[in-house]
Amino acid sequence: MQINMSHGSGGKASAELMKDIFGKYFSNEVLNKMEDAAVLELHGKFAYSTDSFVVTPVVFKGGDIGKLSVCGTVNDLLMMGADPAYLTAGFILEEGLELSLLEEIVASMAKTAKEAGVKIVAGDTKVVEGKGGLFINTSGIGIIPEGRTIGAANCTEGDLVLVSGTLGDHHACILSARMGIENQIASDCACLKSMVQLLLENNIRVKTMRDVTRGGLGTILNEIADASNCSIEIKEESIPVRPEVRSFCDILGLDPVYMGNEGKMIAVVAQEDGEKALALMRETEYGGEAAVIAQVVSGKGVYMKTRLGGSRIVDVLYGEGLPRIC
């Protein structure tokens, strides 16, 4: 069975798709009311974000577009110090999409949402012409506990920059799949909730956090340096990269500093908290290879201290990166 235009009609076929696939996996007391909008309640500060996912292939080593669409938005909320609570899911399905593939992706979303402790409370489905693929948009709401202020403008001289693990895995995985290269590289697609919670619960003075997605480490550190009106100095040798990803990059002339990841974050923390923060990150499921990779210094821009003792400017990503990576 495949998706056809009638599944986007708003009529009988849409209702069946809702019941047989979305309802089956996303069922909860809010969504099940099937109103025009979910009715919820909250008191205080919250984070609110959205992301669309267009990755191809839609299933890849280490994940799929469904898992990615939950992790991506959940991680964005976490980066603001919020506890992710609710998601919406908007599906744009291409005609010819196999229902069994859609079901696999929806099941993966539901599993990831459960792990992340979020409820999918509203959704929408449209059908367009195409080649049997799909796009997913998620938006999310996360509760921000009182007194928590995390933001790109908070960094000051001396702060240390930690990265939660190896760079380039997701990018190298998608590119390998796209090029038909057989290797062991898997996407790092993951929800960073337990890592962020552990840092914050242990009173690490976290100035800012960012997940290292499109644009890569180089672009993100430039945004932070800009917002905080400071400079950041990276130690090249401290950047963790898996050997197989390193080889892959060497062959294709890619730089892990500009590669997209889907389960990696950087945290900028007060200098005195650096060691403790690193130890906490390394305790977590996805933080085993965390490292201190840079320091905030006075000045402007981002610099790399190279292995050979030189220094080079690290600018934001120019050019096109890898299309449809997330």
**Site residues (CB under 8 A) for a second copy, limited to 127-146:** 127-129, 135, 137, 139-142, 144
The answer to whether residue 22 forms part of the interface with a second copy (CB under 8 A) is: no
Q: List all residues 6 or more positions away from 144 whose beta carbon is below 8 Å from its beta carbon.
A: 44, 45, 46, 47, 80, 81, 82, 83
Binders of a second copy in range 24-53 (CB under 8 A): 33-53
DSSP summary character for residue 33: G
Smaller CB distance to a second copy: residue 113 or 182? 113
Question: CA 7 to CA 70: how far, in whole Å?
Answer: 23
Applying CB under 8 A, among 17, 68, 79, 134 the residue interacting with a second copy is 79
Task: Please give the size of the binding site for a second copy, defined by CB under 8 A.
Answer: 83
Contact between 162 and a second copy per CB under 8 A: no
Q: Site mask, a second copy, residues 83-122, x = CB under 8 A?
A: ---x-xxxxx----------------------------xx
Q: Does residue number 320 form part of the binding site for a second copy (CB under 8 A)? A: yes
Touching a second copy, residues 271-300 (CB under 8 A) = none
If you ran DSSP here, which 8-state letter would residue 22 be given?
Answer: I
Residue list 197-256, contact with a second copy (CB under 8 A): 210-211, 213-216, 219, 223, 227
Instruction: Indicate whether 18 belongs to the interface with a second copy (CB under 8 A).
Output: no
| Least distance CB 308 / a second copy (angstroms) | 26
Measure the CA–CA gap between 39 and 42, rounded to whole angstroms.
10
CB of 232 to a second copy, least distance (A): 17
Torsion angles phi and psi, residue 310, rounded to 5 = -85, -175
Task: Identify the CA nearest to 209 among candidates 291, 150, 157, 258.
Answer: 150
Q: Which is nearer to a second copy, 50 or 311 (CB)?
A: 50
Q: How far apart are CA 162 and CA 216, in angstroms?
A: 14
Q: Give me the phi and psi of 304, to 5 degrees please.
A: -115, 120
Phi then psi dihedrals of residue 150, to 5 deg: -125, 130
**R_g of the chain, CA atoms, integer Å:** 20
